[in-house]
Amino acid sequence: MRFPRNARIFRGQLDATPVAAMFFLLVIFLLLASLVYTPGVPVDLATFDSGARIDVGVRSNGAVMHGSEVITNSLVTWLSEERQRRGGPATVAVHVDQNAPRGVVRQIREAARDLGMGFMVPEASIELPMAADVRGTTNAFVVVAVNFVGQLFYENRLVSEETLAVELKRVVRDPEDPPTLLVRADKSVEQEVLDRLGQLAHAAGLREMLLARQPRGLKPASIPVKEP
Average the pLDDT over 79-99 and give the result: 81
Taking every pair of Cα atoms in the chain, the longest distance, rounded to a whole number of angstroms, is 108
* pLDDT of the residue at 127: 66
**Alpha-carbon torsion angle 213, 216, 219, 224, nearest 10:** 10
Interval 104-125 mean pLDDT: 80
Among 124, 154, 182, residue at a domain's last position: 124
Give the percent of the chain with pLDDT over 70.
74
Mean pLDDT along residues 13-27: 83
Residue 35 lies in a domain: no
Res 21: pLDDT: 87
Q: Which CATH number do you get for residue 118? A: 3.30.420
pLDDT surpassing 50 at residue 223 = no
Does residue 172 sit within a domain? yes
pLDDT band at 40 (very low <50, low <70, confident <90, very high): very low
Mean pLDDT along residues 156-179:
87
Q: 172 with 116, same domain?
A: no
**Is 45 contained in some domain?**
no
- pLDDT given at position 166: 92
Residue 107 forms part of a structural domain: yes
Whether the per-residue pLDDT at 148 is higher than 60: the answer is yes
Given a cut of 50, whether residue 224 has pLDDT beyond it is: no
Q: Judge whether 144 and 184 are in contact, CB under 8 Å.
A: yes
Tens-place pLDDT, residues 182-207: 888 887 788 888 888 888 888 888 88
Average pLDDT of span 115-141: 70
**Residue 97 maps to a domain:** yes
Residue 5 belongs to a domain? no
What's the mean pLDDT in 144-158?
84
Specify the pairing of strand 52-58 against strand 64-66.
antiparallel
Last residue of a domain, one of 97, 124, 151: 124
Indicate whether 41 belongs to any domain: no
- Evaluate whether 41 touches 153 at the Cβ level (below 8 Å): yes
Confidence of residue 137 (pLDDT cuts 50, 70, 90): low
pLDDT, average across residues 47-62: 73
Tally the domains of the chain. 2
Regarding whether 138 and 217 lie in a shared domain, the answer is yes
Q: Are residues 133 and 117 in the same domain?
A: no
User: Domain check: are 57 and 104 in the same one?
Assistant: yes
What global pTM score does this model have? Answer: 0.56
Q: Are residues 153 and 78 in the same domain?
A: no
219 assigned to some structural domain: yes
Domain that holds residue 154: 128-226
Whichever domain contains 163, its CATH number is: 3.30.420.270
- Position 219 scores a pLDDT of 52
Q: Is the pLDDT of residue 227 over 70?
A: no
Q: Does residue 220 share a domain with residue 135?
A: yes
156 plus 184 within the same structural domain: yes
Instruction: For residue 110, give the 3-state DSSP assignment.
Output: helix
Q: Does 100 share its domain with 175?
A: no
Averaged pLDDT for residues 45-70: 74
The DSSP string of 119-175 is EEEEEEEEEPPEESS-----S-EEEEEE-TT--EEETTEEE-HHHHHHHHHHH---T
Verify that 80 and 144 share a domain, yes or no: no
Q: Bigger pLDDT: 201 or 73? A: 201
**Final residue belonging to a domain, choices 66, 98, 124:** 124
Rg of the chain on CA atoms, in Å: 26
**Same domain (yes/no): 111, 150:** no
Does 151 share its domain with 165? yes
Do 205 and 162 belong to one domain?
yes
